[in-house]
Amino acid sequence: MKEMFREKIGQRSAKVKNTVEKGWVKKFAEAIGDPSPNYFDEEAALASPHKKNIAPVTFPVTFDYGAIPNLGMPTKGLIHGEQKYHYRRPLYVGETVYCYVQVKNYFEKKGNFGNMGFLILSRCVEDEQGELVCETEQVLIISEAVKKEMSK
């Protein structure tokens, strides 16, 4: 079977405007069980090295990154393989950011259940000046069964 996503490598979505909203940051921190006052307490933030409230490291999962045209992702059966976060600086509460997703790579490996597809997506967050704030790398695993269903 042809490596179905190989021709998509390098394609990306349009940038989508997002806000690092204080209320969402506080709810997210509570949901993940991280009580750090640096996320919502302004006095604690002033005493921190950043002098501002910041968002938890995994907060970018809440952003809208748009969609890559005609990517054709399955609606079920994907396996979440791995996710990494790379930061140049923290996300500051209240700032506006612009997010997009890009196909970084695609390859296949033979496994016990047939050829497994590995789709690597890069989700980028830029500030208003267009500087990269953080990037997440996500590995999605697509089983042989899902690939066959997609090719119907």
* Structural domains of the chain in order of their starting residue, each with its CATH number: 2-18+64-150 (3.10.129.10)
Q: What is the mean pLDDT of the chain?
A: 91
Mean pLDDT of 46-72: 94
Query: Who wins on pLDDT, 4 or 56?
Result: 56
Tell me what percent of the residues of the chain surpass a pLDDT of 70: 95
pLDDT at 152: 65
pTM: 0.88
pLDDT at 39: 95
Query: Who wins on pLDDT, 61 or 2?
Result: 61
Burial of 141 (0-12, 13-18, 19+ CB in 10 A): middle
